[in-house]
């Protein structure tokens, strides 16, 4: 059935998303924490109807993301931007339920315009969990959030809430918990004065084996102690393991090693992996784990356009399907027209098992992206 669809394409499986959404619902029921989808990670709105049944709204990194959340997801629209323009604020003040500023200067500049909605400030707590310096929100000289408590205190009377985003791909509950304790002791005075706290994203609480009950207990005791509504801003945790990128081998070349070139590109279609220099994960059901070793490479001109090196049970040939897993987060939102390579279509496998091609990209889309 899937074979009839022309590669390359992303296949999003709603049943797999549902598994993650059920955990989000569980967290809400047992801790009171609300979850808003981080659109920066995943903005493919064809599955928002399903997501919005289990989540409380969206959070954003720009005006356009906020608009998308407001128009296509509904429920609560949280706005955040590293720096708003005056024009952004004119629209955001009409569509946002909460607007979170990244600096005291921006908050003071726009406060009068937005004080009728929930005003928040991002705080840089100085602690973080990240495997990558590039993604570490508390890295040296980080511009993400207000680092000085004195500065936060100077606008405390204007704040309804605060946001701490201090995790990236954190699957270690103890580390999450210890850092939350540190935040609590550092910002106790502030926490007593506000109504809501967003703990950001970056926690892998939908992974199998994550101690969900401990997580809920921690969130609930934090929320009870300070009488605050807790928000989580999951991106990756919502869609993890729910999508695959299907490609076809176009050519096989040899330079010491065998190299299979597919009709896709890591640079154009899974850019995040290239930025962080990690290999794509490959579908384990498909011919994997034998004695034939291939580098799987993209068809762009970039020398390092390499998805990874893998072992296969059978020889690959022109026409073989290569399927990369975990292809939802930070992929479709970052795809680009580098080299004019055809963008993967987006296909959704609905809960009832039906396949729907929700987006196909044409030459005209490439042309219209520039002028």
Ligand X SMILES: Cc1ncc(COP(=O)(O)O)c(C=O)c1O
Residues engaged in binding ligand X (CB under 6 A)? 38, 40-41, 165, 168, 200-202, 233-237
Q: Which of 171, 215, 197, 188 is nearest to 24 (CA)?
A: 215
- Pick the closer one to ligand X by CB: 138 or 228: 138
Largest CA distance in the chain: 67
Q: How far is the CB of 227 from ligand X (least distance, A)?
A: 23
In the bound complex, what is the minimum distance in angstroms from residue 363's beta carbon to ligand X?
32
C-alpha–C-alpha distance, residues 258 and 260, integer Å:
7
Least distance between ligand X and beta carbon 231 (Å) = 10
CB of 41 to ligand X, least distance (A): 4
Find the shortest distance in angstroms from Cβ 122 to ligand X: 7
Nearest to ligand X of 116, 277 (CB atom): 277
Residue 76 vs 236, nearer CB to ligand X: 236
Nearer to ligand X, 243 or 316 (CB): 243
Closer CB to ligand X, 8 or 145, in the complex: 145
Nearest CB to ligand X, comparing residues 25 and 171: 171
- Looking at the Cβ atoms of 38 and 114, the one nearer to ligand X is 38
Q: How far apart are CA 271 and CA 268, in angstroms?
A: 6
Angle between helices 173-191 and 212-226 (to 10 degrees): 10
Q: Are 270 and 307 in contact (CB under 8 A)?
A: yes
| HEC string for 129-198 | ECCCHHHCCCCCCCCCCECCHHHHHCCHHHCCEEECCCECCECCHHHHHHHHHHHHHHHHHHHCCCCEEE
Least distance between ligand X and beta carbon 19 (Å): 16
Cβ–Cβ contacts within 10 Å for residue 353, how many? 10
> For residues 179 and 181, what is the distance between their CA atoms, to the nearest angstrom?
5
User: Residue 343 carries which DSSP code?
Assistant: P
Minimum CB–partner distance for residue 265 and ligand X (Å): 23
């Amino acid at each position: 059935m899937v074979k009839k669809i022309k590669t390359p394409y992303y296949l999003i499986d709603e049943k797999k998303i549902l598994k993650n959404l059920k955990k989000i619902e569980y967290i809400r029921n047992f801790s009171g924490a609300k979850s808003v989808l981080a659109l920066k990670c995943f903005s493919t709105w064809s599955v928002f109807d399903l997501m919005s049944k289990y989540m409380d709204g969206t959070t954003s990194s720009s005006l356009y993301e906020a608009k998308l959340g407001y128009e296509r997801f509904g429920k609560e629209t949280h706005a955040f931007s590293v720096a708003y323009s005056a024009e952004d604020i004119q629209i955001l003040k009409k569509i946002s339920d909460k607007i979170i500023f990244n600096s005291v200067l921006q908050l003071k500049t726009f406060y009068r315009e937005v004080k009728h909605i929930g005003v928040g400030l991002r705080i840089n707590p100085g602690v973080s969990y990240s495997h990558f310096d590039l993604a570490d929100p508390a890295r040296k000289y980080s511009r993400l959030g207000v680092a000085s408590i004195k500065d936060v205190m100077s606008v405390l009377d204007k704040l309804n809430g605060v946001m701490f985003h201090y995790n990236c791909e954190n699957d270690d509950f103890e580390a999450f918990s210890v850092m939350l304790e540190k935040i609590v002791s550092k910002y106790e005075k502030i926490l007593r004065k506000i109504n809501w706290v967003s703990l950001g994203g970056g926690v892998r609480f939908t992974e199998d084996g994550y101690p969900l009950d401990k997580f809920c207990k921690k969130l609930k005791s934090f929320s009870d102690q300070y009488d605050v509504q807790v928000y989580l801003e999951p991106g990756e945790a919502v869609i993890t393991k729910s999508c695959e990128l299907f490609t076809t081998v176009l050519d096989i070349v040899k330079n010491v090693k065998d190299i299979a070139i597919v009709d896709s590109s890591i640079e154009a279609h899974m850019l995040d992996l290239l930025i962080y220099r990690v290999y794509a994960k490959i579908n384990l059901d498909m011919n994997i784990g034998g004695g034939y070793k291939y580098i799987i490479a993209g068809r762009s001109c970039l020398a390092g356009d390499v998805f990874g090196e893998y072992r296969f049970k059978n020889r690959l040939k022109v026409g073989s399907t290569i399927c990369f897993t975990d292809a939802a987060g930070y992929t479709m939102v970052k795809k680009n027209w580098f080299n004019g390579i055809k963008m993967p279509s987006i296909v959704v496998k609905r809960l009832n098992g039906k396949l729907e091609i929700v987006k196909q990209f044409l030459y005209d889309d490439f042309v219209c992206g520039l002028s």
